[in-house]
Amino acid sequence: MDISINRSIKVKSTGSKNILSTLILSATLIFTGDIMAADYSKNPFTLAYDSAITKNEAGKVNIHTVHYKTNGIDIAANIYTPANYDPTKQYPAIVVAHPNGGVKEQVAGLYAQRLAEQGYITIAADAAYQGGSGGEPRNIDKPFNRINDIHGMIDFIETFPGVDKKRIGALGICGGGGYTLAAAQSDKRIKVVATVSMFNSGLVRRNGLQNSQIDTIQQRLQQASDARTLDFKGNVQYSANTDLKGITDEELAKMPAGLYREGFEYYGKTHYHPNSTPKYTTSSLLDLITFDATDHIDLIQQPLLMIAGSKADTLYMSEQAFAKATGTKNKQLVKINGASHIETYWKQPYVNQIAEDLIAFYNKEL
């Protein structure tokens, strides 16, 4: 079942009542122009997405803050349990990996909650060295760490009461999508794999978005090498060291349309969270530039679903990965008509469509 689908923006009515009903309520929304913004400061769990849980109630989806160790580093995570959760029963589980620079309270939490609403136990964790998790220096962004974070989420969720160890799936969003593909190549505890707006971090750090920086690879490797020397001396260097909260509308307007402008708007304005930042240690590029999420992707034999916006400037990354994933014949590439990369994080009806596709996939394969 090796197929590619163009998904219409029309919302399907069959099986969507539960999803639609949860999207009607939004207790923590404010409005900025025509874009809905989720104010983390008005949510007791600091969740920064539309229709987020505001309190735990009996008989409904609940959220649980947990901490555990991965490679000796404290990891901060949120677990979502389905309505009428009974720890003596068995539930399928999904581990959700967040985008580069993102945190568990943003889009990763959004999809984790949507899946919990359909009967899954889900976990969204902050990457080591990032967000609410431990690790020094802050904001190291190395592929090994991000991949190991996914293994670590599985380690922990396997021990959570009610989780069926034989039915664990993975969902990766943006950079978390690329790292999820890498983790699933070897970790066969992952029974099914899905990505939303997959971002191949190594490819982009090496060649630039849409191959815009190929001519400067050696220069940037030298900068990363020099930064490692400075790191050792205690003078940690950062790339993309931008104050998200300080970006003005005028500065946004001057940015090229697409991923980066919409990303700064999402992370800096409409769905801001103080733990989220685009910066990463410059020395991380030593590992990032030599990494590619599609290396050995043929080792994925599990069912695979990849979802991306038809207008996303990152679509080519999902298309390339999908073509190289020759180890599984049970795979689908779904293109959400009209959606950009960032719009798959928050905008309706796209979020509804993606949630429906994910739920149908997990229900069938898990």
Q: Which residues contact 135 (CB under 8 A, 6 or more apart)?
A: 73, 128, 129, 145
Is residue 23 predicted with pLDDT exceeding 80?
Answer: no
Give me the pLDDT at residue 13, please: 32
- For 225-273, how does the pLDDT look when each residue is reduced to its tens digit (9 = 90+)? 999 999 999 999 999 998 888 888 898 888 888 999 999 999 999 999 9
Question: Whole-angstrom Cα distance, residue 253 to residue 85?
Answer: 46
pLDDT tens for residues 143-182?
A: 999 999 999 999 999 999 999 999 999 999 999 999 999 9
Tens digits of residue pLDDT in 37-69: 689 999 999 999 999 999 999 999 999 999 999
Specify the CATH number of the domain 2-200+242-278+292-365. 3.40.50.1820
Interval 267-312: pLDDT, tens = 999 999 999 999 999 999 999 999 999 999 999 999 999 999 999 9
Model pTM score: 0.91
> 4 pairs with which residues across the strands?
333
So what's the pLDDT on residue 2? Answer: 58
Task: Return d(Cα 131, Cα 83) in angstroms, integer.
Answer: 28
Q: How far apart are CA 327 and CA 93, in angstroms?
A: 24
Written in H, E and C, the secondary structure of the chain is CEEEEEECCCCCCCCCHHHHHHHHCCCCEEEECCEEEECHHHCCCCCCCCCCCCCCCCCCCEEEEEEEEECCEEEEEEEEECCCCCCCCCEEEEEEECCCCCCCCCHHHHHHHHHHCCCCEEEEECCCCCCCCCCCCCCCCCHHHHHHHHHHHHHHHCCCCCEEEEEEEEEEECHHHHHHHHHHHHCCCCCEEEEECCCCHHHHHHHCHHHCCHHHHHHHHHHHHHHHHHHHCCCCCEECCCCHHHCCHHHHHHCCCCHHHHHHHHHHHHCCCCCCCCCEEHHHHHHHCCCCCCCCHHHCCCCEEEEEECCCCCHHHHHHHHHHCCCCCCEEEEEECCCCCHHHHCCCCHHHHHHHHHHHHHHHHC
Q: Give residue limits of the domains in the chain.
A: 2-200+242-278+292-365
According to the model, what pLDDT value does residue 5 have? 67
Q: Which residues pair with 76 in a beta bridge?
A: 67
